[in-house]
Structure 1
Amino acid sequence: METIAIITGKLARIGLWIAGAGLVAMTVMIAAQVWWRYVLNDSIIWTEPASVMVMGWFILLGAAVGIREGYHLSFEVFLHFAPDRLKLILYSISDIVVTAFGFGMVWYGTLLAMKTAGNKIPSLGISGAYDFLPIVVGGVLVVLFSLERLARRAAGLPTARFGEELDD
């Protein structure tokens, strides 16, 4: 389990760095577009589709890392009052649902990528499949990180910095 945690931890860190770099890159692209359009009275044609594509990457990679770290959205009012055993069951059900959602991202993202592989994004000159690649990669990471959480919980190990703060 420790080896898996090290590997997934490194994947999460890489994903977070890529997401952060993507956020900076998108900000630079949008700033350049605004400068060119309003100061130079011209336009850079590739910045909008490229920034949207980069945004898909940083949103989906960040979401996957958030799942691993326990920062994903949840409704915990009931869990605050629930007994510890019930909390573990409900957290596991939540992780199973998130895993299923991740499989859906991989499946449908792949189908979308395959259907658009023959199309080209005009201003970038690349296949339309690249628009859906973040969904597939993000889905793979969601599945991997959710399965890790389930395995860690089954082994009696902590699963997140936040979220599963059980009373001793």
Structure 2
Amino acid sequence: MKNVALATGLLARLALWIAGIGLVLMTVIIAAQVVFRYLLNSSLIWSEPASVMIMGWFIFLGAAVGIREGYHLSFDILLYVLPEKAKLFLHTVSDLVVAGFGAGMVWFGWELAEKTSGNMVPSLGISGAFDFIPIVGGGVLVVLFSIERVARRAAGLPTARFGDDADIEA
């Protein structure tokens, strides 16, 4: 379990770095577009589709890391009054539902990518499938990280928090 936790921890860090770089890159592209449009009276025709594509990556990668770290949306009011075993059971059910959602992201994202693979994004000159690949990639990570949380809970280990590798040594 230790090796799996280290591997998924590194994968989560990598995903977070890629998401952060994507956010900065998108910001730079949009800033360049503003400069070109309003100061140089020209336009970068590729800036909007490229920014949207990059945004898809950082949204879905960041969301997957949020799943691993336990920062996804939840309604925890009931958990405050339940015994610990019931809380663990409900957290496991939640993680399994999230894994199912991630599997849906993979399945339907792949279908969308397939259906748009013949279309070209004119300003970028690439396949329209690239707009949907982030859904598939994020879905794979959501499934992986959700299953990791279930496995850690089943092994009696705490679920990971970003930057906290102390629990991996357990």
TM-score with structure 1 setting the length: 0.94
Q: Distance in 2 between matches of 1:84 and 1:3?
A: 27
Q: Distance in 2 between matches of 1:71 and 1:24?
A: 22
Aligned structure 1 segments of 4 or more residues deviating by more than 3 angstroms? none
The within-5 A match list for 1:116-131 is 116-131=116-131
Does structure 1 residue 7 correspond to structure 2 residue 7? Answer: yes
The within-5 A match list for 1:24-63 is 24-63=24-63
Q: Which amino acid in 2 is paired with 1:128?
A: G
State the 1:87 CA deviation: 0.3
Match of 1:70 in 2: 70
Q: Which amino acid in 1 is paired with 2:46?
A: W
Match of 2:57, SS state, is helix
Does structure 1 residue 18 correspond to structure 2 residue 56? Answer: no
Q: Closer, same or farther in 2 for the Cα pair 1:151/1:64, shift >3 Å?
A: same
Q: Distance in 1 between matches of 2:160 and 2:94?
A: 14
Q: Which amino acid in 2 is paired with 1:91?
A: H
Q: Which amino acid in 2 is paired with 1:22?
A: G
> Residues 105-138 of structure 1, C-alpha deviation per residue, up to 9 Å, x if partnerless?
0000000001111110000000001000000000
Match of 1:86, SS state, is helix
Match of 2:90 in 1: 90
RMSD across aligned positions (CA): 1.0
> Residues 135-166 of structure 1, C-alpha deviation per residue, up to 9 Å, x if partnerless?
0000000000000000000001001449xxxx
Match of 2:167 in 1: none
Match of 2:107 in 1: 107
Count of residue pairs brought into register by the alignment: 162
Q: Which amino acid in 2 is paired with 1:34?
A: V
Match of 2:74, SS state, is coil
TM-score with structure 2 setting the length: 0.93
